[in-house]
A and B are shown apart, each in its own frame.
Chain A
Amino acid sequence: MTRGLQTALARLQGGWQSVVVLVPYFWLLLFFLVPFFIVLKISLAERIIASPPFSPLFQWAEDGALTMRLLFDNFVWLWEDELYVETYLNSLRISIVSTILCLLIGYPIAYGISRARPTARTILLLMVILPFWTSFLLRVYAWIGLLADQGTINNLLIFLGVIDSPIRLLYSEFAVYVGIVYTYVPFMILPLYANMEKLDLSLHEAAADLGARPLTTFFTVTLPMTLPGIIAGSLLVFIPATGEFVIPDLLGGGNVLMIGNVLYGEFNANHDWPVAAAVAVALLVVLVVPMMIYQRVQARESGI
């Protein structure tokens, strides 16, 4: 009797560990992995006017066997429609340019923070993180006020006499760039800072001691040493920027189309779920390589 209780308890001792593993595991399987297969499945289905508006993938054929109908029509359609191809290339171009802009702006800031005195460093870092905790949507909204025809920038320029009538800033590609850089530059600064903070200052001194001028030191030592930070930061900007939806919608005002907008539009306005799913799959295909690189860089960084 007591022995039975003891073994039961002992089994429970091992049991809690499986609970710790299994709860998050099944959560992710159910709410992360399975949904992807559903997306994949629907992207291969046919649109029908029904609820849900797609044809079932598995069907009982007349001879009673279970058959699966795979339709690549949606992907073919995407490929043949110029709008989609153009939107894809447009998204990639916008996110690549934004990533480069973020790097150019973020690098000196991250470097400046890592070289500041410890107290100043904490405050500056906090100032970079702080916008993270305020609403993303509202930070994008803030730029509408700046860029609008009667916005702060136009008012200021007219007041200074630089221009006579407002120039078009909002609802343009420029505004989308500003919005992406503004909201994503902390994603660039933080990994760069984390990398630069670990930089051994004596390496710079060693380079100077061996005759390298500051600019040479930067290109031969600092830049190669911060490469992991550059890669991590660039991917952290590039990946979400490619799938961005809010910024082109609010600041591009329908003039700038990105994949995210097309996906949202197909799904909510056109109710073409199979095409929306196909867009999602295609977006994922574009991003899967950068995502894997990012994971590898992260693993290596935390591994050493």
Chain B
Amino acid sequence: MRKQRSTFLFSALCFGMAFLYVPIFLMIFYSFNYSKLVPVWGGFSTRWYGVLFQSEEVWDALALSLQIAVVNATFATLIGTMAALALVRFGNFRGRMLFSGMITAPLVMPEVITGLSLLLLFITLEGIIGWPSERGFTTITIAHITFSMAFVAVIIQGRLAGMGQELEEAAQDLGAKPFRVLFDVTLPRLAPGMLAGWLLSFTLSLDDLIIASFVSGPGATTLPILIYSRVRLGLRPDINALATIMVLAVAIGVIVAGWLLFRQQKQRTREMQMAGK
């Protein structure tokens, strides 16, 4: 009986992982296809990578997307951390209910609504104060910060709630003023969460199509907008090549991060064992 169940769970896991990964692997596989028709194998080739690298459009879009992603991640981490601190540590202030509602709402808000509403805001602002005079880098970044900070705030909130306040109290007891405590104790302890938040914001920004396509102007084409305009017309081998590069970059990033984490953990266990003796 127990065997049966674990066989079932095992096949469920195998099926699930195959479901998640087979499409990605096929996409990578066909990026090395010589043929222009993606699913028809015409021999091994890297020519679509050449096509991709020679496209100035792609480089421009990538540069814009990376710039937005970095600026977004940095500001979102900063403001998101502030929001989490405000919610978890500063207790009750006026409008706290509204604040906590606004912080979590972007997490589940359909992107079409966020995108539309921000665009309408920018247009209204332009009509009233003349800013933003053109839509592009600034407007996309502001839109991305607005939803990324919500994700950061949730991550940091979880960390703050889980870590208790004893260390902060100890620091205060030893004479540190609240501002010092924040920089000496709280922020260092939040650093891993802030890093996670930064990386998540970076990825979210790099991934966003809908909001960006609402709030971007004619001159600003981000990478997802470019990809979308191409794949709408069907399969394109150069997009397969681009997908392969992006998947590889993420995989390498995750493996390196995992390895670093593993090594750090091992070092820690070893140190603890040594200390134990």
Q: Is the CB of A284 within 8 A of B113?
A: yes
Question: How many chain B residues touch the partner (CB < 8 A)?
Answer: 90
Closest beta carbon of chain A to B5's beta carbon, Å: 6
Residues of A within 8 A of B83 (CB): 24-25, 28
Q: Is the CB of A23 within 8 A of B82?
A: yes
Number of A-B contacts (CB under 8 A): 242
Within 8 A of B (CB), among A220-267: 235-236, 239-240, 242-246, 249-250, 259-260, 263-264, 267
Q: Is the CB of B227 within 8 A of A138?
A: yes
Complex Cα spacing A32 to B90, Å:
22
- B272 within 8 Å of A by Cβ? no
Residues of A within 8 A of B239 (CB): 138, 141
Assuming the contacts A16-B179, A112-B9, asked whether A137 and B112 have C-beta atoms less than 8 A apart, the reply is: no
Within 8 A of A (CB), among B207-230: 207, 209-210, 214, 224, 227-228
Q: Is the CB of B86 within 8 A of A148?
A: no
Give the secondary structure class of B's interface.
helix
List the one stretch of B52-60, B66-74, B121-129, B166-174 in contact with chain A.
Answer: B121-129
- B201 within 8 Å of A by Cβ? no
- B177 within 8 Å of A by Cβ? yes
Q: Is the CB of A250 within 8 A of B39?
A: no
Q: Is the CB of B23 within 8 A of A112?
A: no
Residues of A within 8 A of B21 (CB): 127
Flag B5-32 by CB within 8 Å of A: 1 or 0 each.
1101110110011011101101100100
Q: Counting chain A CB atoms within 10 Å of each CB, which of B82, B101, B113, B234 scores highest? A: B113
Closest beta carbon of chain B to A251's beta carbon, Å: 11
Q: Is the CB of A283 within 8 A of B113?
A: yes
Residues of A within 8 A of B98 (CB): 33
- A207 within 8 Å of B by Cβ? no
Flag B37-64 by CB within 8 Å of A: 1 or 0 each.
1111000000000000000000000000
Q: Is the CB of A243 within 8 A of B113?
A: yes
Residues of B within 8 A of A240 (CB): 108, 110-111
Q: Is the CB of B203 within 8 A of A133?
A: yes
Write the chain A residue with the least CB distance to B80. A24
Within 8 A of A (CB), among B111-156: 111-113, 116-118, 120-121, 123-124, 127, 142-143, 145-146, 149, 153
Closest beta carbon of chain A to B172's beta carbon, Å: 13
Complex Cα spacing A271 to B266, Å:
59
Q: Is the CB of B117 within 8 A of A36?
A: yes
- B102 within 8 Å of A by Cβ? yes
Residues of A within 8 A of B243 (CB): 135, 138, 141-142
- A34 within 8 Å of B by Cβ? yes
Closest beta carbon of chain B to A178's beta carbon, Å: 9
Assuming the contacts A32-B105, A108-B9, A240-B110, asked whether A134 and B116 have C-beta atoms less than 8 A apart, the reply is: no
Q: Is the CB of A142 within 8 A of B227?
A: no
Q: Is the CB of A141 within 8 A of B227?
A: yes
Q: Is the CB of B112 within 8 A of A13?
A: no
Q: Is the CB of A24 within 8 A of B127?
A: no
Write the chain B residue with the least CB distance to A111. B9
Closest beta carbon of chain A to B12's beta carbon, Å: 4
Within 8 A of B (CB), among A110-157: 111-113, 115-116, 124, 126-128, 130-139, 141-146, 148, 150-152, 155
Nearest 5 pairs of A and B residues by beta carbon: A243-B110, A35-B117, A108-B12, A24-B83, A109-B16
A-B contact pairs, 11 of them (CB 8 A): A16-B179, A24-B149, A25-B95, A32-B146, A115-B9, A135-B246, A138-B227, A145-B23, A150-B40, A284-B113, A298-B104
Apart from A134-B250, A186-B20, 9 more pairs, CB < 8 Å: A20-B82, A28-B102, A52-B123, A134-B247, A135-B243, A136-B207, A137-B209, A141-B231, A143-B23
